[in-house]
Structure 1
Amino acid sequence: MLTQEEKDFIVYWEANRLKQKKYFRSWLVGLPVGLLFGIPIILNYATGWYKRAAMVAGSKFNPMVLIIAILLIITFSAIFYRQHQWEQHEQKYRELKQQEGL
């Protein structure tokens, strides 16, 4: 027997599962998680706490490469996080539907 919370989840997920699968929405909602990875990298570079790395970066480094890399890291983390959450919800939904049918 399903609890009321599980029944509410089934109704919610049937209504919203395709909307949450879209990549742009996944990117927007997962963006804060991606920023959790990108901001420390930027701070690490900006503070220059490791002097030798700062010297090498200052002489042989193009900052545009760092910006592009950070944007790629943020985007990948955001989309991967949301897709992982979607898969977890989908698995829970399928288990509940199977349990409901018994």
Structure 2
Amino acid sequence: MLTSEEQAFVDFWTGQRTRRRSVASRISSGLPLGVGIVVVLFLSIATGWYQRATMVMRTHSSVILMIVIAAIGIVLFMSYFSAQHEWDQNEERYQVLLQKQKSAGAAKEL
């Protein structure tokens, strides 16, 4: 038999699992982690604690463009894969709870 918390999760995930299949919804749900990493990256660049990196950035203007492109890549990568990991964990928990519910129902019939 499922607890009330487990049953609430099964009800919630039954509705959410089809809605969260699209790439756009996955990226939007994992966006804060990717943005947080990029903000920390830009803060470390802005403080100038690594003198050599600051020197190279000031002498080669194309480095700034590469940093922006890399930041966008980091945000997209971290957003998608953190959301994918969260979805996989929820799906696994959902399947386990369904099996538990099914086995509890079969035990009652005996």
TM-score normalized with structure 2 length: 0.86
2:37 aligned residue = 37
Flag as ranges the 4+ runs of structure 1 deviating above 6 A.
none
Shift of 1:16: 1.1
Q: Given that residues 30 and 79 in structure 1 are in contact (C-alpha distance below 8 angstroms), is that contact kept between their aligned partners in structure 2?
A: yes
Instruction: Tell me by how many angstroms 1:60 deviates.
Output: 3.1
Alignment match, 2:86 = 85
Equivalents in 2 of 1:21, 1:37: separation in Å? 25
Any unmatched runs of 5+ in structure 1? none
CA RMSD of aligned residues (A): 1.2
Aligned residues: 102
After superposition, what is the alpha-carbon deviation per residue over 1:44-76, rounded to whole angstroms, capped at 9, x for unaligned? 112212222211222235111100100100111
Cα distance in 2 for residues equivalent to 1:43 and 1:81: 22
Number of the residue aligned with 1:23:
23
TM-score normalized by the length of structure 1 = 0.92
C-alpha offsets along residues 6-50 of structure 1, whole Å, 9 cap, x if unaligned? 111111111110111211111112111111211111111122122
